C-alpha cells in the first residue's frame, strides 16, 4: 500500500506539472490522464512489489 501511495502521488504530480506546462486543461484530457496515472501506478506497484519480494 505504501509503494502504491508513493508511486501514485509521484505520477499524479508529474501529470499536473505536464498540464501546467502545456495548458492541457480540459475535461477529456483530465479523465484520460487520470486513467493513465492509475494504470501506471498500479503496474509499477506490481513490478516493484514483485522485485521487493524476490519474485524475479
* pLDDT above 90 for 56: no
Do the Cβ atoms of 3 and 48 come closer than 8 Å? yes
∠ Cα 8 11 15 (to 5°):
130
Residue reference for cell 509503494: 3
Mean pLDDT in residue range 5-18: 96
Confidence of residue 17 (pLDDT cuts 50, 70, 90): very high
Mean pLDDT in residue range 37-50: 96
* pLDDT above 90 for 37: yes
> In Å, what is the CA distance from 7 to each residue of 12, 20, 38, 49?
8, 20, 10, 12
The whole-number pLDDT of residue 23 equals 82
pTM of the model: 0.83
Amino acid at each position: 500500500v505504501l509503494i502504491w501511495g508513493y508511486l501514485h502521488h509521484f505520477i499524479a504530480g508529474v501529470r499536473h506539472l505536464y498540464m501546467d506546462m502545456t495548458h492541457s486543461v480540459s475535461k477529456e484530457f483530465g479523465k484520460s490522464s487520470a486513467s493513465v496515472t492509475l494504470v501506471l501506478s498500479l503496474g509499477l506497484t506490481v513490478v516493484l512489489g514483485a522485485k521487493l519480494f524476490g519474485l524475479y
